[in-house]
């Protein structure tokens, strides 16, 4: 069977996009999804995303990690899916869609997509790191030598270690550049390696840095290997609301496989 796909990337975080409004894609075939994401034998991507019909909203997002398993929210994937929906003519400059973690609002201007993330009501402070969920679970810790350490080795050890174990957590390493700028490298579960950027990860880092008192700004720039992302938010008591992930989302190519 021939499958038409579209490739999108948001600051180097890349995705296979499939228009599944006709519900023809086999969502139970984990091996096939992993094959499509394989960089040597398939198309190559950090994840695969299905755009599906929604009874009330503009569309529905179904996200799979590169290992073929359906996963938690992907921020850059959500931004890319909004750009894809605009390409398909489903939305124009605003969108409302449902993902695994609930309803999201988005705005599009040229190649820039702003995605509203879920409110965060709890951040756990531990010795040497903080933990929070921004649609996906994230471990955040400082790493002074962020440019040249073995993130795959260090990230996987934390991802599979206590207290995360089998469920696992994404792992973010952070270096402070200035009051409102931080460098970030992320080890993603499901990909089981570093990705060039991670949307829910940089969101977690921005909120964590404010929580720890490392920044008093409510608009933070996160430098990733794939480019810069911005996160804006409003702090109310111990909660973070009106959280927006902002960055580029670009069409790469269309093909059949």
Of 194, 215, 212, 206, the residue nearest 245 (C-alpha)? 206
Identified catalytic residue from 36, 49, 51, 74: 74
- The CB density around residue 101, as the number of other CB atoms within 10 Å, is 18
Residue 22 carries which DSSP code?
A: T
Packing angle between helix 75-87 and helix 199-211, nearest 10 degrees?
130
The owner of tokens 């400059």 is: 93
80 counts as catalytic: no
Q: Which residue is catalytic, options 51, 123, 174, 198? A: 198
Burial class (CB in 10 A: 0-12, 13-18, 19+), 102: exposed
Annotated active-site residue 74? The verdict is yes
Is residue 30 within 8 A of residue 73, CB to CB? The reply is no
Of 166, 255, 202, 149, residue with least CA distance to 13 = 202
**132 CA to centre of own chain:** 14
Burial of 2 (0-12, 13-18, 19+ CB in 10 A): exposed
Q: Which residue has the tokens 């569309």?
A: 59
- Catalytically annotated residues: 74, 198
């Amino acid at each position: 069977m021939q499958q038409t796909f579209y490739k999108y990337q948001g600051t180097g975080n890349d995705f296979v996009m499939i228009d599944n409004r006709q519900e023809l894609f086999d969502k139970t075939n984990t091996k096939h999804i992993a094959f499509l994401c394989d960089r040597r034998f398939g198309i190559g991507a950090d994840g695969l995303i299905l755009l599906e019909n929604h009874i009330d909203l503009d569309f529905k997002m179904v996200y799979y990690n590169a290992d073929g398993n359906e996963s938690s929210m992907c921020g850059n994937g959500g931004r890319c899916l909004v750009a894809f929906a605009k390409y398909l003519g489903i939305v124009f400059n605003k969108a409302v869609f449902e993902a695994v973690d609930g309803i999201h609002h988005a705005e599009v201007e040229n190649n820039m997509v702003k995605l509203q993330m879920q409110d965060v009501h709890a951040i756990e402070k531990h010795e040497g790191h903080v933990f929070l969920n921004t649609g996906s679970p994230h471990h955040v810790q400082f790493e002074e030598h962020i440019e040249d350490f073995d993130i795959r080795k260090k990230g996987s050890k934390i991802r599979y270690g206590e207290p995360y174990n089998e469920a696992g957590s994404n792992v973010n390493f952070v270096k402070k550049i200035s009051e409102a700028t931080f460098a970030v490298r992320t080890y993603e579960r499901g990909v089981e390696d570093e990705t060039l950027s991670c949307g829910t990860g940089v969101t977690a880092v921005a909120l964590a840095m404010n929580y720890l008192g490392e920044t008093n700004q409510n608009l933070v720039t996160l430098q990733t290997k794939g480019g810069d992302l911005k996160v804006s938010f409003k702090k109310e008591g111990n909660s973070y609301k009106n959280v927006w992930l902002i960055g580029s989302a670009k069409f790469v190519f269309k093909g059949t496989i």
